[in-house]
Amino acid sequence: MREEFSREIRSTVTSEGTIEISIVKSDKPKPSEDEVLIKVEACPINPSDLGLLISFAADLDTVSVSGSGNATVAKMKIHEGLMKQMKPRLGKSMKVGNEGGGVVEDAGAKFKHLIGKTVGLAGGAMYSRYRCVKASSCLVMNDDTTTTEAASSFVNPLTALGFIETMKLENHSALINTAAASALGQMLVKICKADSIPLINIVRKSEHVDLLKTLGAKHICNTGDSEFLNKLVDAIVETGATLGFDATGGGNEGKLVGQMLSAMEIAANKTVTQYSRYGSDTYKQVYIYGGLDQSPTVLNRSFGMQWGLGGWLLTPWIGKFGMETFQKMRQRVADEIKTTFATNYTKTISFQEMLQPEIIKKYAKQATGEKYLVNPHKD
């Protein structure tokens, strides 16, 4: 029996200095001529979702819950001094969730052939039972793909592939990636192995080293190792990596980005025959694409003058890649969703479970190897 309405997760910053997360009943949308109506069955909780869901300003030690069932509301205080930064959100009930997987339940006149198809999409507001989006924005999956598999078909897979395309565009030949044992990091290991691209993986625990070895990773550097920097330099010498991607922003006590640049410079100077006070003429680039560590990013200027540091976000880079390349990226994800881009989940939870304090604290930790999947239709 088809439902006549929808429910969705909303996050609101209140004038009392709190963030409230609630389950809101809403009208079930109807697709226009170029849209499809998707019954959303699976949505991951990604680090990129947390900025809107609970925000960087939330004090997780104050999380409380009231009500039950669809009337469940989670509330947490905003850290003192950070309320000013939340002002643009004040009083706005904001829809949450970047991506998900589901089944097309209805469609506009031009896309009736998609009814019954499993799709992945990244249309925003995905923590919802039903979602209407442009048909062209959906990734139609192969017939044997489940909605759970399709749920994580955009953010991590396309980001990992985006790193490869960025490398090509900027004329680099090898990569460094941090938080390399994450779901995204594991995908990147598989891509680089299949495409014969040298990759240096930076992790912070010995068990992460072991995990990546099972995937066939060759170069793995552990920040917990006393010889970390020397091993990183050796790996850069062997691979020629001059491009790095950092998921932490403040990893290794804030020093990680600077250590990557310094190691690239040390490696470059091993083949320099003439000294320059400006450092080597090898250009080195690091992009920060995440904020797993909220510590300041610390740069000790020991890497010459030929370097760059910036932020990296998938959406603007898609325009640089071009639509033909982007469509090839999407098709590769659909074809390899069970292998290269497979995602494992710690637990599947309901909307109500998503708002429980102990579960909020777990997914807010963004711990490597822990990933929650939300099923909007689970009771």
- Average pLDDT value for residue range 59-69: 96
pLDDT per position as a tens digit, 14-29? 999 999 999 999 999 9
Q: What is the pLDDT of residue 369?
A: 83
Nearest to 97 by CA among 17, 152, 137, 160: 152
Dump strand ranges (E) for the chain. 5-13, 18-27, 35-44, 64-66, 73-77, 94-95, 100-107, 118-121, 130-134, 139-140, 175-177, 199-203, 219-222, 243-246, 284-288, 307-311, 347-349, 372-374
pLDDT per position as a tens digit, 328-350? 999 999 999 999 999 999 999 99
**Is the per-residue pLDDT at 220 higher than 70?**
yes
**Is the per-residue pLDDT at 197 higher than 90?**
yes
DSSP 147-208: HHHHTTSSHHHHHHHHHHHHHHHTT---EEESSTTSHHHHHHHHHHHHHT--EEEEESSHHH
Q: DSSP letter for 14, please.
A: -
Cα angle 175-340-331, degrees, rounded to a multiple of 5: 95
Q: What band does 272 get if pLDDT is binned at 50, 70 and 90?
A: confident
Contact call for residues 189 and 216 (beta carbons, < 8 A): yes
Q: Using alpha carbons only, how large is the chain's radius of gyration in Å?
A: 22
Question: What is the rounded distance in angstroms from the CA atom of residue 120 to the CA atom of residue 151?
Answer: 6
Cα angle 131-312-346, degrees, rounded to a multiple of 5: 55
Q: Where do the domains of the chain lie, and which CATH numbers do they carry?
A: 5-152+343-374 (3.90.180.10), 156-318 (3.40.50.720)
How many CB atoms within 10 Å of residue 281? 11
**Is the per-residue pLDDT at 1 higher than 70?**
no
Mention every residue, 6+ apart, whose C-beta is less than 8 A from residue 93. Answer: 10, 11, 12, 24
**Is the per-residue pLDDT at 274 higher than 90?**
no
Looking at residue 350, its amino acid is S
Q: What is the pLDDT of residue 368?
A: 85
CA 289 vs. chain centroid, Å, equals 9
Q: What is the pLDDT of residue 293?
A: 87
Residue with tokens 């390899």: 336
Question: What is the rounded distance in angstroms from the CA atom of residue 2 to the CA atom of residue 253?
Answer: 52
Mean pLDDT of the chain: 96
As given in the structure block, the two tokens for residue 293 are 């560590």
pTM score, whole prediction: 0.94
- Average pLDDT value for residue range 55-76: 95
DSSP bridge partners of 349: 374
